[in-house]
A and B are shown apart, each in its own frame.
Chain A
């Protein structure tokens, strides 16, 4: 009797669980709709209230994926975040077209190795103190001292000609100085008035720090005496939220108004409701690429791999988080004009067969009885693990076997040891609107990421030309030629450019959603209705 009762109870429990699970999805969907409706109703009420009482402060609430212990603009990468928070500004800045435009400086002209920089009229710190040439020089010297990546600035001779004019003698021709001056780490601080560089630097931006929690939330308020004119927002709050799910839930509950670096899972949710969420996705500056080892793979195999890897299929699989790349740079840039052969698996197979490979009984290519097996190395970040799997599948489809090897730290393993056939990597390819940085780091013989044995004398010559070429159009031409050499040599494969994806509530604009660089956020133009 007891056993019967027990079995009935268990059956009933299981049935109840199954029914509950079955209905759970429906409930979740329904509730999601309801919650969004509720949010919208709330928003609607809020909007109405805002119209009635226009004095309500316009505070933008957003989520930040990173948080740092200091606001010292010149140290580490903290300047990226002080600029995102709208606190600091640089002499020049990047615009939506990946061009350098004026910021705190209105102009920079080069005469040989001497640059003359003129500061913008009225440029001043939030305390009203005008930005002077002497202060700019002191700031640049401070960055050189505190930040190893900018130590080279100490080699330049800097002179304040007058209050608004600086000359910088770079000793040898340095065409990218203007781009370098757009680096967020070179933001200007009032070095005399600032007493707490880590928590409250006095800068020139449209916002001031209201509260700063090291490695936590940041609150800013409008700089009433902003030198650049009116500031639309009254303030903003940056909540430190690392995880994707809470960001999605906070957006759904109406606790935040916008955020960037949207995950593919969240993107799918937002795309289902375009009237509730405005999603802006543009190709960014972060590149996913692979290096083919010329010391372990012959020309035919490398070419076959590049003809097989289908970037469009990979981009489609990654559902909107990346755009298929042609070269390392944004195809809309003048230095992003290169071509790659389209996917052609038949030609890839022909190439392998012409090179002496034959298909064995398992359907894989082999040569002299030795199976062709590609060692693919990757690290599990920036979707490289997914890309490794997809490349493995694509190679398998033409009969090329591969083994995957995952490393936690690529730089001290496969990049340092070159023990790979195909190495996946992700890095910023364009940090300030110029191709030299990436080309010099990856294609130059002996450079940090030239770990696949790519060496081309002509390419090295062109890189040296690029280093000193001052004409922008000519620089683009040289860059395109250099990248094309690397592509034609099948030394690399450029898979995707990470999209800068931002989700905004309707009525929110100007959150740097159209700028392909990671270090911009709110500014004087940012608006919330």
Chain B
């Protein structure tokens, strides 16, 4: 067990080193100069002398490998460096953004799972029935709507027409409601379709036919179907977590939610390499850990994987 764990940790470190090197290389090759972005961020032109002095100060004139090695040794010591954009330490920025995005992502994920799980079962069990058609239309429509459109529509109806919420929300529970719903609606649409397909696949298995033939009660059949579907459902959800962590940038901007997605988008625009690299390391770790966790859970839940 310990050997396995060490092997997995070594694998994670190897993946992160390769990933960080590739991202560092891509940023190095991509056009864009952090010094120029910083000095001209308000549209004011600067002279070449000023630009060169800033490049020197930020360490941009050093060779690529020296810069990468300095960054890597810093990270090993727990120092993610300072932002090229504003000289503020990177780690607190990322941790704060990560905390806010995690709250948003996990809240919307839980809501989506609860709704889509229920709808997925109903839809699969009542295949081609009225309930199934209604759920499929909902799934199709909500999956087709971009979340920024949902966000603006929610704002319009809930804030302007019904006056239930303020447009300018604070970072509390009330402020969380609309961004969570905006993220949850399209995600629920996707989950319902995927879960329905998984439940239907299980329902058409021989063991279900056999149970039905033996007159086993519906709830026991459903229990077995759900249990056997969980492995795939965990995989679907695990993949979605990564997307949620980095992909809620528009929602974060619209609802003024200071999450990591918005932080990274701003950093990419500003060529703020230390923040981008910090994000890559954190997100790479999260992705790998979630996938490992998903593998372990699948292994535990589905005896077939142990055969």
Interface set of A (CB-CB < 8 Å, partner B): 6, 9, 13, 28, 31-32, 35, 68-70, 75-77, 80, 148-149, 151, 215-216, 239-243, 245-246, 249-250, 252-253, 255-256, 286, 407-409, 411-413, 426-428, 431, 437-438, 441-442, 448-449, 518
Contact = CB atoms under 8 A, between A and B. Distances in A.
A69 B88 contact: yes
A242 B253 contact: yes
Contacts of B258: 215-216
B39 interface: yes
B32 interface: yes
A255 B166 contact: yes
Interface stretch (B8-16, B50-58, B279-287): B50-58
B39 A68 contact: no
B161 A412 contact: no
B33 interface: yes
B86 interface: yes
Contact of A286 (B43, B133, B152, B168): B43
A31 B168 contact: no
For the complex of A and B, list the 9 residue pairs with the smallest distance between their C-beta atoms, beginning with the closest: A441-B45, A412-B31, A250-B167, A409-B32, A428-B43, A249-B167, A148-B54, A35-B160, A409-B31
A411 B271 CA distance: 13
A240 to B, nearest CB: 6
Interface residues of B, number: 42
Contacts of B305: none
Contacts of B254: 243, 245-246
B31 A407 contact: yes
Given A76-B86, A80-B42, A249-B160, 4 more contacts: A76-B38, A148-B57, A409-B271, A428-B42
B86 A243 contact: no
B178 to A, nearest CB: 11
A357 B253 CA distance: 51
A77 B161 CA distance: 39
Nearest to B57: A148
A282 B78 CA distance: 50
A249 B155 contact: yes
Contacts of A77: 41-42
B47 interface: yes
Contacts of B53: 148, 151
Contacts of A426: 43
B40 interface: yes
B269 to A, nearest CB: 9
Given A31-B160, A76-B38, A427 B43 contact: yes
Interface of B: 31-33, 36-48, 50, 53-54, 57, 86-88, 130, 133, 137, 152, 155-156, 159-161, 163, 166-168, 253-256, 258, 271
A426 B45 CA distance: 10
B38 A35 contact: no
Contacts of A412: 31-33, 36
A243 B253 contact: yes
Given A6-B133, A149-B46, A449-B45, A255 B167 contact: yes
A286 B44 CA distance: 9
Contact of A151 (B40, B50, B168): B50
Nearest to A241: B256
9 contacts: A70-B88, A76-B41, A80-B42, A148-B39, A246-B168, A253-B163, A255-B168, A431-B44, A438-B45
Contacts of B37: 409
Nearest to A498: B43
A245 B155 contact: yes
B42 A70 contact: no
A246 B155 contact: yes
A69 B43 contact: no
Contacts of B33: 409, 411-412
A246 B43 contact: no
A69 B86 contact: yes
Contacts of B156: 28, 249
